[in-house]
Each structure stands twice: as structure tokens, then as C-alpha cells.
Amino acid sequence: MLDQLAFPEGFLWGTACSAYQVEGDNRRNQWWEFEQQPGAIWHNERCGRACDWWQNAEQDFDRMKQLHLNVQRISIEWSRVELEPGVFDATALDRYRAMLGGLRARGIRPMVALHHFTNPLWFERAGGWESPESVKHFACYAQGVVTALGDLCDFWLTMNEPIVHLVQGWMRGIWPPHKRSYRATRQVFLHLLQAHAAAYHVIHKHQPAAQVSYAHVFKVFYGQRQRSMLDRIAAMIKRRVVEQLWLRATIDGKLRAPLGNGRVVPALVNTLDFIGVNYYSSTAVRFTPNPLPLFGYESIGAGSELSDSGRNGPYSAYQPRALYHLCLELSTIPKPIYITENGLPDADDDQRPRWLLAHLYQIYRAIRAGCDIRGYFHWTLVDNFEWTEGWGLRFGLFDLDPQTQVRTPRPSAHLYGEIAQHNAITRDLVMQYTPHKVRDYFVD
Ligand code: BGC
């Protein structure tokens, strides 16, 4: 009788977070400035000290070690390390050296993102991502970081979800810089891609053997009404713009319509060493003649089980199988896959254990079906500052009281630690957390 669903030897188990969301007091970027505006953040909350990582990330590194995690995704806060163009702050870089060293000393391999939604104010004032200069600025920043930290990290993401940054900032206009402009969207798309490619090459020049990519958003769009051709077409348009344009450009270098003009940029070709998959749930699309939301309104499939939701409505739906199909589809690209984010907001942890097991089970199935999936990063270890939703959405394996900084493990922390320790989903764990699934997961 099968007692466990074992993952491949050396599989990476970790959590993911970003600098702004955990470090605290990152006052020199556009998000801090935005936060100060009344109503910007749900309940007018503030990031403040966040999880206090700038002072004491090490206490959470200890928690990771206790959970037997062997990898951790962090990001570098650009506005902390590069105070003005080309001027790097040695003290800030030293703090990152201490963090990377601290992770490694605990047997945890760092994966480092250079960009996770925040931009220095000096960069914004110089035109931000709409300016062609942005590419040079980002390359210079990448150079500064890899020179200072490269001996401690060989696993890099140039950017986290550049398409989310683009859509929220320049298409929907709900994040800074609050624009709704097709022209600016096209420019920023091109500059982000070029900046990614520049950083990719800078890192590889310095570290030929490094693993470098980006974390990409996958919303797995599908037509909401089964029989509606228009819904299906709207879903295809979304897929193309949100998921495919960037991914394919980093494979063959081609800038496709509607955000590109068909030209091939040689520097972009093959600028991913692995596929970083950020997956939370799939998304239903209903056609609208309105071009602004790309001809489709997004929603959660009817009847889906929902996680906690923020002020913008239902946050995510329970769709673990979509992750299996996504991995299979991505396997046609000959690159290893890492699930660079997956999780849910669930303050009372009444869903997380079941959701976690179900998503890991689908990853296990995908591996069995031949997908080269090498690691999983749960979003996130400790509740952190959830952008415009403030402290209202709780994604942590540990509950955090941001006032006192007291952390309390949720049951899922224990569950995830056991899985990482055994490198397997054991029958006992399934019995304990989702007994009704034992028969589904352990087909003898
Ligand atoms: C982002 C994170 C965010 C998470 C949960 C991801 O798309 O990369 O910064 O906290 O979703 O909303």
C-alpha cells in the first residue's frame, strides 16, 4: 500500500515574499508615497514596519529552518540600495549580505528577485518605466547588486510579475502611476522586457552558471459561459496579453501584437533559464464590447469555493486542477519549472491545509506525468503587507500582529513543515488534515 507521495530528490520547498511587503520603512519608493494618500490602502492602513525584516529577518529564517525549508524567495529593494543613479549604499548592501548569509547558514538557498513592484522615487521622477532610460538604469542596478551579492546567490529573478505591474499601473490605472493609456502601456511593456533582458545578461556575464528568470503571472483564463464563442475569444485575448506576449518574447525575442510591432529583439531571445510560475486560481472571462478590460470582464467561476476576499471582492477560487493542466502545457517549453508563488488569504486557516495539500497533489501528479517541476514556494511565511489590501488579507503560514510583531503558527505551518521534512505528502498527513481525500490521493 502506498504510504506517501514522494517528490523527486532535491526538490526545493520554500516560501516567497518581497522586500516592500516584509522589510518595513521603505520610504524611498513610489508605493510608500502612494500609501500616504487617504483611501489608497484598505482601511487606510500602512505598511509601516511590515514584518520588521530590515531589523530582524533572522527570527523568520529560524522559523523556516524549523519547518525544514531549503529555499527562500526574497527581493532586493532597489530604492534602498541605489540612492541615486549609480550611487550604491554599502550599508544596505551589507544588510542584504547578512540576510543571504543567514539563509545559507541555515541550509536555505536564496532565490533573489531584483524587482517586485517598487521603483525608487528618483527613477520615477526621471520618467520611470515610460522613459527609454529605464533600461539603462535597471541594468546599472542589476550590475551593482550582482557585483555586491553574487558570491552569495546564484538563483535570480530579474522581475516579479512584470505584466501585473504593467496592467495595474498603466492599463487599469489602480496602482501608481495610475495611467490608462495604450501608448504608455506599449512603451512600458517594451522597456520592462528590455530591462529584464539587460539584467539577465548582466547576471550571466558575472555568473555564467547562475539560474536566471522572472516570476510570471498565470491567471488561466477561460470563457465564463460554456457555449459562448465570444467569452472564449475574450479569454484567448486575455491569455495572449497577460500570459503569452511576455513569455514568448523571452523565448524567441519577438514582440507580438497588440503590445509589440512584430519585430524581433535579439537580446531577448532565450532569456529564461527556468519558468517561474505564480499561480493562485483560474479566471472566468465574460465578453464585453468595451476594449478597456481587453473585451472581457474577469470573475471567479460560478459555484467555486472562495478564499477570504479583500475590498475588491472574491480573491481566489479553489482550482487546483488548473495548476496541473498549466504545468503540462508549459512542459512543451524545454525548461525546468518552479512554482514561484501559490497560496491564499485565509486568516483562520480553515481552508489553507486542504488547499495546500490539493495544490501539492496536483504538482505531484504533473511530475508523475513527466513535468520537470523542481520546487514550490508558498506565498507566504508570515502575514505581510498586501499592497492596496493592506493587512486585510492574511496569506501567512504564521499569523502576524503588525503592532506587537508577535507571530503565531497556523496549523498549515505544521503541515507544510512535515511535507518539506519528508519530501512527500504522507498518508498520515492527509488522514489528519483532509481525511475525505485519502482515497483520491492514494489510489493503490
Ligand atoms: C504578488 C505578491 C502578492 C501576492 C498575493 C502576487 O501576485 O507577487 O506580491 O502579495 O500575489 O496577492
Q: Is the CB of residue 274 less than 8 Å from the CB of residue 333? A: no
The residue whose C-alpha atom lies closest to atom 5 belonging to ligand 1 is 386
Calculate the dihedral angle through the C-alpha atoms of 35, 37, 43, 49, rounding to the nearest 10 degrees.
30
pLDDT tens-digit profile of 318-327?
999 999 999 9
pLDDT at 71: 99
The pLDDT of residue 302:
83
The amino acid sitting at 352 is R
Element (H, E) at 97: helix 90-105
* Confidence tier at 444 by pLDDT (50, 70, 90): low
405 band by pLDDT with thresholds 50, 70 and 90: very high
Q: What is the mean pLDDT of residues 70-87?
A: 98
Nearest-atom number in ligand 1 for the CA of 161 is: 8
Per-residue confidence (pLDDT) for residue 401, from 0 to 100: 98
pLDDT the model gives residue 2 = 84
| Contact assessment for residue 375 and residue 10, using Cβ atoms and an 8 Å cutoff | no
Using one digit for the tens of pLDDT, what is the confidence trace for 141-173? 999 999 999 999 999 999 999 999 999 999 999
**pLDDT tens digits, 360-390:** 999 999 999 999 999 999 999 999 999 999 9
Task: Return the ligand 1 atom nearest residue 384 CA.
Answer: 10
Question: Parallel, antiparallel, or unpaired for β 155-160 and 82-84?
Answer: unpaired
pLDDT at residue number 220: 97
Nearest-atom number in ligand 1 for the CA of 217 is 7
How many whole angstroms from 344 Cα to the centroid of ligand 1? 10
**Percentage of residues in the chain with pLDDT exceeding 70?**
100
407-443 pLDDT per residue, tens: 999 999 999 999 999 999 999 999 999 999 999 999 8
Closest ligand 1 atom to 387 CA: 10
CA of 382 to the centre of ligand 1 (A): 13
Ligand 1 centroid–CA 407 distance in Å is 20
Inter-residue contact 279 to 317 (CB < 8 Å): no
What percent of the chain is helix, strand and coil (3-state, nearest 5)? 45, 20, 35
- pLDDT tier at 314, thresholds 50, 70, 90: confident
**Ligand 1 pocket: which residues have CB below 6 Å?**
18, 160-161, 164, 278, 341, 379, 386, 395
pLDDT at 355 over 80: yes
> How do 296-299 and 283-287 pair as beta strands?
antiparallel
Q: How far is the CA of 10 from the centre of ligand 1 (A)?
A: 26
Cα(74) to centroid(ligand 1), Å: 13
Residue type, 113: A
User: How far, CA to CA in Å, does 14 sit from each of 34, 118, 228, 249, 370?
Assistant: 31, 23, 40, 29, 22
Average pLDDT over the chain reads 97
Instruction: Give per-residue pLDDT as tens, 227-281.
Output: 999 999 999 999 999 999 999 999 999 999 999 999 999 999 999 999 999 999 9
* Cα of 68 from ligand 1 centre, angstroms: 23
User: Can you tell me the mean pLDDT for 346-367?
Assistant: 98
Testing ligand 1's pocket by substitution, the residue of 341, 386, 393 carrying the most ligand atoms inside 8 A of its CB is 341
